[in-house]
């Protein structure tokens, strides 16, 4: 193109107003009108700015070669530069015109501190405005950036920001891109996503209403839908939220190009994620060489529908405790014990873990033993249970505590009702509260605790209400004399009953908190706590009060059923704690059994040795194509005429058996590890696996046994686990998918929370 033609075409652009229509592919929303009003100066935006635009129409200013767009939130100018005669068009950057006139930067600002300052010009003076506190500092290039870094450190530290992380993570790449953090399901997909500055090309011969496209980062529609479904699963959001008007408006403003999908499509995306994650869990469990423990828990809907939740528990190769919900099955209203056992067996078969099952934990001590026997017979056909299945049938410790507490509260129901009414009376008005406070001072009560009304479905709150009411017993006893409207006065005997039961409930609250709040909730933590409950029940049964003794006997009868099934498993688990070994069993059994303690201790010793012998035999076998850790088969002669090949196997097995026996004895004879609160039993066994190769295999399976099936948030709930109305209204397939997948994704959520909560102030060492 010659100079005359170029000048002619350039003149055509600058002598007429050319209508321009712009289609922003990455961002979308609504049609806007370009405001051709000119403004001095401009400020370049980084491409990660969330523009709320879809279609833009306007005209090119003939005098300045620029066009300004007025959006609902802020004005944007497309500033023309680098006219290219060869291509016949302009390259334009998206610009923002703030309230204070922005300035064109003569060169790219390389220091990372400019990620946190906005550079503007007022009256030919450059300023740097802190985006965190709006403080105005010198922004001249002659001033450098040292003063900006110093301010940034003070500013961010006051807000408890990690300065180094905030700067390093947002540091711009050489190609002027910004790295954004992503949360992905696959490790292969965990990579930075970069958004480049938006660049548009305006053709000088462009016709009216012609679309101009943006050469920007690619928006992935499918990935966004996947992230939406993943978010709903991970946080337990209701599926119908995608049909809510408010959610639609929010998403459209956030990312206008995202095409929202209806509820049914979101269900399909959730099912796709479920199938993908299920495959990962299946592969993890079936490649695991140890044993799997299974907990069986009943859930209920507000309408009374029953659900069966099956959860796998195991300690993996890295000695990390794993918990995976395998199935969440909707039961028929008329289901029988036979049907329940069939459902459990089918789930075991579907996951191919029937031959790897070590123990089965039920949430209810009243579960029919026939269910356990049917399951035991079925899985014994493929592989015998270790130790003749002595540790196979486990009942939830937290559930038995809840059950005996429920009995105590029911026996004291009328008294508790009086106390609740008394507390409500005092808290009914300021006048009543003031009068009660005056009475408390008169009778010499100086307690600073406030009277509390309990939540009847949480027995820990009932215990707290009783405790605080007992502190004001003297004031309640004379309240009726000063306040005739008070009619819930308790007798001295009722106060004594309350004191006795509240004291026992306080112990159970502490024990339940120990279960749910332990950093390493292995099976070994339960033995001392359950023994304390046992000892207190024995003492309570000796009460001279007939009423209290009758309550204690009823509670102990229920506890004894639990103890008969689980005492051996509890004892074996605590023996595998190197801080206690056999000594803690001897300590508690002497208090529980008295003169019969030696016999009971011997039963425990024989039980752990029998289980250990079973593991020593298994260690010589090839399991699922791979030798179990700590063992390998010896090489034998390949000569077919060698008639002593059987002897090689016999020699190996008998030698291994001798080593295994001495392995257990060595562990028990060595001194106990010092007892401390922060002891990590799993880490101890991981370190000592080479020293106790067979015993560590047994420890991994035993310590992974769930001795309780109640989640920490439901530990004090009398009514058990209740499914919310939103999920109970779903069809069984999608309900199971959402609940299982949410559990599988929980570790990702924990990792994200852990990273976001780490705050470490570090000095900034970035040059300008």
Whether 49 maps to a domain, the answer reads yes
Whether 240 maps to a domain, the answer reads no
528/665 same-domain check: yes
> Is pLDDT above 90 for 228?
yes
Confidence of residue 107 (pLDDT cuts 50, 70, 90): low
Whether 301 maps to a domain, the answer reads yes
The distance from CA 152 to its chain's CA centroid, rounded to whole angstroms, is: 34
Q: What is the pLDDT of residue 559?
A: 95
Q: What is the pLDDT of residue 722?
A: 86
388/409 same-domain check: no
Stretch among 175-179, 301-305, 478-482, 716-720 having the lowest mean pLDDT: 175-179
695/564 same-domain check: yes
> Is pLDDT above 70 for 224?
yes
Whether 235 maps to a domain, the answer reads no
Whether 83 maps to a domain, the answer reads yes
* Mean pLDDT score, 417-446: 92
> C-alpha angle 628/632/633, rounded to 5°?
125
Kind of pairing between the strands at 43-44 and 89-96: antiparallel
682/611 same-domain check: yes
> Is pLDDT above 80 for 169?
no
458 contact partners, CB below 8 Å, separation of at least 6: 716, 717, 718
Confidence of residue 601 (pLDDT cuts 50, 70, 90): very high
Q: What is the pLDDT of residue 255?
A: 87
528/659 same-domain check: yes
Q: What is the pLDDT of residues 645-670, one digit of tens each?
A: 677 667 656 665 555 456 888 999 99
> Is pLDDT above 90 for 21?
no
- Rounded Cα distance, 713 and 446, in Å: 34
Domain with 197 in it: 3-201
57/164 same-domain check: yes
Confidence of residue 707 (pLDDT cuts 50, 70, 90): very high
Entry pTM: 0.66
Backbone angles phi, psi at 306, to 5 degrees: -100, 145
> Is pLDDT above 90 for 696?
yes
Whether 558 maps to a domain, the answer reads yes
128/174 same-domain check: yes
Smallest Cα–Cα separation from 329: which of 361, 297, 359, 351? 297
The Cα diameter of the chain in Å comes to: 117
Q: What is the pLDDT of residue 322?
A: 92
Q: What is the pLDDT of residues 518-534, one digit of tens each?
A: 777 899 999 999 999 99
Read off the DSSP letter of residue 713. Answer: G
444/478 same-domain check: yes
Confidence of residue 699 (pLDDT cuts 50, 70, 90): very high
Last residue of a domain, one of 167, 201, 235: 201
432/538 same-domain check: no
Whether 215 maps to a domain, the answer reads no
692/588 same-domain check: yes
Smallest Cα–Cα separation from 137: which of 116, 151, 154, 155? 151
Q: What is the pLDDT of residues 437-450, one digit of tens each?
A: 999 999 999 888 89
Q: What is the pLDDT of residue 662?
A: 64
| Both structure tokens of 479 | 């309240």
Report the domain count for the chain. 4
501/540 same-domain check: no
> Is pLDDT above 60 for 4?
no
Task: State the average pLDDT for the chain.
Answer: 76
> Is pLDDT above 70 for 157?
no
CB 494 within 8 A of CB 418: yes
Element (H, E) at 307: strand 306-315
Collapsing DSSP to helix, strand or coil, 193 comes out as strand
Whether 236 maps to a domain, the answer reads no
Kind of pairing between the strands at 199-203 and 721-722: unpaired
Last residue of a domain, one of 181, 201, 221: 201
Q: What is the pLDDT of residues 45-90, one digit of tens each?
A: 333 333 333 333 333 333 333 444 444 444 444 443 433 333 333 3
Confidence of residue 750 (pLDDT cuts 50, 70, 90): low
Last residue of a domain, one of 201, 233, 260: 201
Confidence of residue 123 (pLDDT cuts 50, 70, 90): confident
511/528 same-domain check: no
- Rounded Cα distance, 197 and 43, in Å: 13
Q: What is the pLDDT of residues 447-502, one digit of tens each?
A: 888 999 999 889 999 999 999 999 999 999 999 888 888 888 899 999 999 999 99
- Rounded Cα distance, 44 and 759, in Å: 31
């Amino acid at each position: 193109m010659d100079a005359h033609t170029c000048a002619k075409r350039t003149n055509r652009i600058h002598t007429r107003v050319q209508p321009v229509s712009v289609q922003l592919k990455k961002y979308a929303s609504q049609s806007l009108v370009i405001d051709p009003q000119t403004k001095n100066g401009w400020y370049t935006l980084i491409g990660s700015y969330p523009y709320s635009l879809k279609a833009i129409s306007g005209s090119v200013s003939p005098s300045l070669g620029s066009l300004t767009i007025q959006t609902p939130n802020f004005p944007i100018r497309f500033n023309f530069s680098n006219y290219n005669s060869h291509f016949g068009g302009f390259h334009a950057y998206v610009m923002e015109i703030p309230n204070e006139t922005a300035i064109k930067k003569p060169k790219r600002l390389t220091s990372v501190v400019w990620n946190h300052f906005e550079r503007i010009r007022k009256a030919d003076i450059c300023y740097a405005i802190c985006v965190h506190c709006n403080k105005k500092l010198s922004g001249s290039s002659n001033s450098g950036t040292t003063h900006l870094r110093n301010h940034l450190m003070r500013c961010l530290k006051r807000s408890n920001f990690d300065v180094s992380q905030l700067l390093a993570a947002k540091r711009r790449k050489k190609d002027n891109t910004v790295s954004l953090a992503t949360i992905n399901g696959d490790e292969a997909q965990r990579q930075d996503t970069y958004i480049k500055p938006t660049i548009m090309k305006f053709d000088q011969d462009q016709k009216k209403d012609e679309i101009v496209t943006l050469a920007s980062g690619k928006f992935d529609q499918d990935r966004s839908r996947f992230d939406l479904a993943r978010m709903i699963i991970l946080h337990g959001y209701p599926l119908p939220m995608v049909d809510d008007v408010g959610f639609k408006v929010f998403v459209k403003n956030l990312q206008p190009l995202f095409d929202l999908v209806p509820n049914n499509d979101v269900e399909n995306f959730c099912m796709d994620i479920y199938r993908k994650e299920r495959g990962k869990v299946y592969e993890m469990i079936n490649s695991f060489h140890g044993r799997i423990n299974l907990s069986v828990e009943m859930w209920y809907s507000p309408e009374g529908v029953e659900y069966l939740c099956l959860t796998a528990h195991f300690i993996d190769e890295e000695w990390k405790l794993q918990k995976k919900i395998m199935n969440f099955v909707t039961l028929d209203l008329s289901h029988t014990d036979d049907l329940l056992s069939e459902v459990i067996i089918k789930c075991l078969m579907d996951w191919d873990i029937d031959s790897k099952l070590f123990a089965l934990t039920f949430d209810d001590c009243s579960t029919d033993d026939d269910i356990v026997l049917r399951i035991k017979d079925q899985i014994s056909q493929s592989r015998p249970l270790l130790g003749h299945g002595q540790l196979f049938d486990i009942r939830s410790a937290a559930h038995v505590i809840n059950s005996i507490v429920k009995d105590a509260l029911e026996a004291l129901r009328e008294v508790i009702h009086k106390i609740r009414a008394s507390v409500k009376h005092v808290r009914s008005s300021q006048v009543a509260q003031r009068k009660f406070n005056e009475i408390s001072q008169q009778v010499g009560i100086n307690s600073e605790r406030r009277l509390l009304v309990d939540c009847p479905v949480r027995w820990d709150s009932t215990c707290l209400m009783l405790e605080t009411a007992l502190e004001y017993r003297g004031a309640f006893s004379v309240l009726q004399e000063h306040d005739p409207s008070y009619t819930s006065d308790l007798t001295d005997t009722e106060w004594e009953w309350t004191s006795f039961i509240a004291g026992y409930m306080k112990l159970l609250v502490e024990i339940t908190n120990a279960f749910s709040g332990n950093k390493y909730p292995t099976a070994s933590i339960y033995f001392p706590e359950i023994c304390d409950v046992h000892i207190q029940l024995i003492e309570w049964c000796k009460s001279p009060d007939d009423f209290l003794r009758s309550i204690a006997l009823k509670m102990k009868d229920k506890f004894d059923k639990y103890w008969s099934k689980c005492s051996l498993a509890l004892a074996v688990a605590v023996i595998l704690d190197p801080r206690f070994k056999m000594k803690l069993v001897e300590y508690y059994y002497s208090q529980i059994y008295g003169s019969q303690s030696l016999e009971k201790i011997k039963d425990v010793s024989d039980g752990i040795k029998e289980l250990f012998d079973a593991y020593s035999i298994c260690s010589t076998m090839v399991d699922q194509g791979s030798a179990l850790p700590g063992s390998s088969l010896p090489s034998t002669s390949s000569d077919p005429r060698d008639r002593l090949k059987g002897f090689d196997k016999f020699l190996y097995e008998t030698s291994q058996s001798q080593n295994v026996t001495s392995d257990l004895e060595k562990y028990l004879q060595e001194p106990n590890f010092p007892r401390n609160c922060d002891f990590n039993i799993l880490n101890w066994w991981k370190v000592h696996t080479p020293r106790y190769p067979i015993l560590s295999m047994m420890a991994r399976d035993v310590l992974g046994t769930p001795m309780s099936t109640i989640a920490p948030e439901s530990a004090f709930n009398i009514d058990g686990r209740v499914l919310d109305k939103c999920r109970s209204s779903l069809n069984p397939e999608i309900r199971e998918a959402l609940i299982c997948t949410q559990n599988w994704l929980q570790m990702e959520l924990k990792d994200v929370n852990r990273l976001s909560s780490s705050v470490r102030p570090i000095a900034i060492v970035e040059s300008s």
